Amino acid sequence: MRLPNRLLLFPTLAAVALILAALPVRAATPVLDAMKEELQRSVKLLSEQPVPVYYLSYEVTEDRNVALSASFGNITRSSEGERRLVDIDLRVGSPQLDNSHPIRGDLFGNFRSFSRVEVPTDNPAALRNILWYETDKKYKRAVEQLTKVKANVRVKVEEEDQAGDFSPEAPEKWLDDPLPLNFDRASWNDKLRRYSAPFSSSGHIYEADAILTAAAETRWFVNSEGAEIRISQTYYRLMITAFTKAEDGMELPRYESFFSFDPDGLPGDGVVLRKVEKMIRDLEALRAAPVVDPYTGPAILSGAASGVFFHEILGHRVEGHRQKREDEGQTFKKMVNQKVLPETFSVVFDPTVRSIESMDLVGAYRFDNQGVKGQRVEVIKNGVLKNFLMSRTPIEGFSRSNGHGRKQAGRSPVARQSNLLVEVGETHSRQELKTMLIDQLKREDKPFGLYFEDIQGGFTMTGRRIPNAFNVLPTMVYRIYADGREELVRGVDLIGTPLTTFSQITAADDQVEVFSGSCGAESGWVPVAAVSPGVLVSQIEVQKKEKSQERTPILPLPESSG
């Protein structure tokens, strides 16, 4: 399951850190030098072994973070932390067949392991010692794994995809200065109090939190091909969440999230407080809204909803390694150069775009986790499928990485999404889209269509053992009637299977929105964005939302708390 769910972002940001003092801008690169020296020493020694190493890379990821939360006008938590993890990619065999090759029929062997090796970045000798011991362990495991891989290849039927295990890439050199976390903590505590306070005016809102997470991530990467990279990025996210309950027990959440690479890029009080007021009004309205039954019919997806929709139905299915693994659905593998969307639609993944209309895109990066430059990838061009998202694991017909080998620290990289951009040549106004929907209602004699205004996230399954479906979790849904009336409803999730749904996308409007979230898959959580205009889908399906069976509170809100 893959969830680009804004909420799920937070548990992973457990801890830390620091505010004030800017790190000195270092001309020297002691961490990189130590990594490089130990890498060269290891490669030399391990090349002399009976099973020589042919590739080695080290990536050190340093995370510093601060999390502040307020609830109904009061600070409830403040925590900070910092840690550094190292990931080692060590390969024996050859780029054609190495120890990373998936072993078929091994139920547990294909689970990518999670390692949590901590290293310091303030002491090169200490760093080298840990790199040595971990490399040595990794080498022994790699040799063992290669033996298993070779046996598996001989025993099993020939694989459909004969592409090798590792692509050649040019070594890159890049040096960012490590960025400090730099924001005014006291003033943010004050803001969070003010952003969460208005929710107490409603007697029906049971949870209301304003959360700021600030993180600075610095990554050092070296490999045996000569790459030397230090990149650094800060992430500031303000999240506001609140939920109420309908009388039937259904929990009704609203989320607003703002993201920026820079603390000053987050919106001002006016913008946030207007959103807060809208959330309160929405929640009150949702409590009274009717529940929708399962239904199929036409729908308009707002830009944010559409972004998540494309992320699930398309994005996860164009991740390169999924075209190769024999337990994957491989929905699009044989559809290269075929038309999958209307001619006016193109879908691009572009980690090099850092912002759109002054909104920062969280899926931007300069280098992926394999030291490959992030590249713009036109996956669908004028409706025709052209390309896949590639890590350094080649697939038939796509032998090179396009800089999408990504992971969370401690995991092994696979092809993952970056910034998904839905680009449409011919756009309509929102009103025109609505008219098109109403025309279809009249034509097909349907009572209503649906408008998905906001969503909290979604998930999809891409394997062969389970139905290849997706699920988008909306928070604000309206019924659009043939006479143009709109009515807020609740209690449904948007579901479907990828190919059927894809063939129903018909038109787009000019209201581009950005969804910035966090996406979880086998290589862990990575930040991703989805940018899309609103789209008209001629047929979607909704199913009932999972519902809490808990009633609303028995006693009224204490008087003192109103």
Shortest distance, CB of residue 84 to other proteins, whole angstroms?
7
Shortest distance, CB of residue 132 to other proteins, whole angstroms?
5
**Identity (one letter) of the amino acid at 446?**
K
- Distances in Å between the alpha carbon of 90 and those of 42, 52, 117, 224, 385? 10, 11, 15, 10, 34
Shortest distance, CB of residue 536 to other proteins, whole angstroms?
36
Shortest distance, CB of residue 182 to other proteins, whole angstroms?
11
For the chain, how long is the longest CA-to-CA vector? 78
Q: Are 82 and 16 in contact (CB under 8 A)?
A: yes
> Which residues are CB-contacts of 186 (< 8 A; sequence separation ≥ 6)?
none
Which three-class secondary structure state does DSSP give residue 320?
Answer: helix
Shortest distance, CB of residue 146 to other proteins, whole angstroms?
15
Shortest distance, CB of residue 401 to other proteins, whole angstroms?
29
CB atoms within 10 A of CB 80: 18
CB atoms within 10 A of CB 16: 21
Task: Name the DSSP letter for residue 291.
Answer: B
Instruction: Choose between 45 and 103: whose C-beta lies nearer to other proteins.
Output: 45
Instruction: Choose between 123 and 147: whose C-beta lies nearer to other proteins.
Output: 123
Task: Name the DSSP letter for residue 98.
Answer: B
Shortest distance, CB of residue 463 to other proteins, whole angstroms?
22
Residues 253, 255: Cα–Cα separation, whole Å: 7
Instruction: Choose between 41 and 381: whose C-beta lies nearer to other proteins.
Output: 41
Instruction: Choose between 16 and 318: whose C-beta lies nearer to other proteins.
Output: 16
DSSP lists the bridge partners of residue 524 as: 521
Shortest distance, CB of residue 20 to other proteins, whole angstroms?
5
Contacts to other proteins by CB under 8 A: 14-24, 37-38, 41-42, 45-46, 49, 64, 67, 69, 71-84, 118-130, 132-133, 135-137, 139-140, 200, 206, 549-551, 553-555, 557-558, 560-562
Instruction: Choose between 137 and 386: whose C-beta lies nearer to other proteins.
Output: 137
Please choose, from the candidates 81, 77, 82, 31, the residue with its C-alpha nearest in 3D space to the C-alpha of residue 58: 31
Residues 302, 549: Cα–Cα separation, whole Å: 30
CB atoms within 10 A of CB 33: 15
Residues 252, 259: Cα–Cα separation, whole Å: 23
Shortest distance, CB of residue 559 to other proteins, whole angstroms?
9
CB atoms within 10 A of CB 357: 8
DSSP lists the bridge partners of residue 74 as: 71
Shortest distance, CB of residue 561 to other proteins, whole angstroms?
4
Residues 269, 285: Cα–Cα separation, whole Å: 24
Instruction: Choose between 75 and 163: whose C-beta lies nearer to other proteins.
Output: 75
CB atoms within 10 A of CB 182: 17
Helix axes 269-288, 185-196, angle to 10 degrees: 30
Instruction: Choose between 135 and 241: whose C-beta lies nearer to other proteins.
Output: 135
Instruction: Choose between 147 and 435: whose C-beta lies nearer to other proteins.
Output: 147
Instruction: Choose between 46 and 272: whose C-beta lies nearer to other proteins.
Output: 46
Which three-class secondary structure state does DSSP give residue 185?
Answer: helix
Task: Name the DSSP letter for residue 42.
Answer: H
Instruction: Choose between 189 and 497: whose C-beta lies nearer to other proteins.
Output: 189
